[in-house]
Amino acid sequence: MKTHLGRRPFSAMELHTLYNGYIYGDVRLPREQAKHWHFWLPLIAYYSGAYSDEIGCLTLDDLCIIDDILCFSFHTHGKIKPRLVPVHKALIDAGFSDYVEFIKSKNHQRLMFDLPAKTGRYSEKVRIWFSGEGDRAGYLQKCDIPNVDQLGMKTAISSLRLNFEQQVRIYALQANSKDAFNYLMGFNEYPNSQFDEISLLNTVIQQVRIINTQLSWQRFLSRESH
């Protein structure tokens, strides 16, 4: 009998552990095959609420500046609506602009250019790397976070969307805009295809809690092998 495990968001302690794990530290693990997407995809997932497939599909053309605000344009997930999500300042501080210039210099189009699709989807490769498969430990296990807790609740890369949802619901309601919440989540409860007040969306997004102020893509590049 297949059990349907409920998903839960990560706890504050688990988030701290994830974003202080070896990917974000100074030491590269033995035999670790470091990829740029290992650094960026969990960060973008936490700060945008996007699914890993959506992030895997992002191209340079999906970065747009509206009212002087840099946004991701997500539009590749069948179940949730296209939406613009302002880029959180924490991503810029971690070196996102430098990373974009690096992508351009290598003539790549996709932001996660080194994430291959498996069976036509990016999420499958992300799932295996993040949660493990069979005897292969994933990033979660290497950070000593269990896939399933004592209550039978499951954590996975999509748990980061739940963390995003928890926070955005609070900040959107504080801004007196349920519409901003529904739009940023891609929910059908927001009836229109566009949201006119990008500055309001930005106000909501920038309040998403910063989990590690020391993150640096340049440091990721220069990690030592031990």
The per-residue pLDDT for 119 is: 78
Can you say how many angstroms the Cα of residue 5 is from the centroid of all Cα atoms in its chain? 22
Looking at the domain assignment, is residue 55 inside a domain? yes
Tell me the backbone φ, ψ of residue 71, rounded to 5 degrees: -130, 150
Which carries the bigger pLDDT value, residue 120 or residue 175?
Answer: 175
**Residue 22: CB atoms within 10 Å:** 17
Full-model pTM: 0.95
Q: Name residue, tokens 């302690």.
A: 13
Q: Collapse the DSSP code of 92 into the 3-class scheme (helix H, G, I; strand E, B; otherwise coil) and give the result.
A: helix
Looking at the domain assignment, is residue 5 inside a domain? no
Structure letter (DSSP) for residue 148: B
Range 7-23 average pLDDT = 95
Range 138-156 average pLDDT = 88
- Rounded distance between C-alpha atoms, residue 158 and residue 54, angstroms: 12
Looking at the domain assignment, is residue 4 inside a domain? no
**pLDDT tens digits, 196-220:** 999 999 999 999 999 999 999 999 9
**pLDDT tens digits, 41-57:** 999 999 999 999 999 99
Looking at the domain assignment, is residue 7 inside a domain? no
Q: Residue 66 sits in a domain of what CATH number? A: 1.10.443
Sign of CA dihedral 7, 15, 74, 121: negative
**pLDDT tens digits, 177-192:** 999 999 999 999 999 9
The per-residue pLDDT for 47 is: 98
The per-residue pLDDT for 3 is: 45
Range 7-28 average pLDDT = 93
The residue range of the domain holding 104 is 12-219
Looking at the domain assignment, is residue 204 inside a domain? yes
Checking 32-35 for CB contacts under 8 A at 24+ apart, the result is 34/220, 34/223, 35/114, 35/115
Q: For all residues of the chain together, what is the average pLDDT?
A: 93
Of 211, 223, 10, 221, nearest in space to 91 by CA: 211
Range 136-147 average pLDDT = 91
The per-residue pLDDT for 1 is: 32
- Rounded distance between C-alpha atoms, residue 92 and residue 75, angstroms: 22
Q: Name residue, tokens 């035999």.
A: 31
Range 76-95 average pLDDT = 96
> How many domains, in total, are found in the chain?
1
Q: Is the pLDDT assigned to residue 112 strictly greater than 60?
A: yes
Which carries the bigger pLDDT value, residue 31 or residue 43?
Answer: 43
Looking at the domain assignment, is residue 1 inside a domain? no
Looking at the domain assignment, is residue 224 inside a domain? no
Looking at the domain assignment, is residue 200 inside a domain? yes
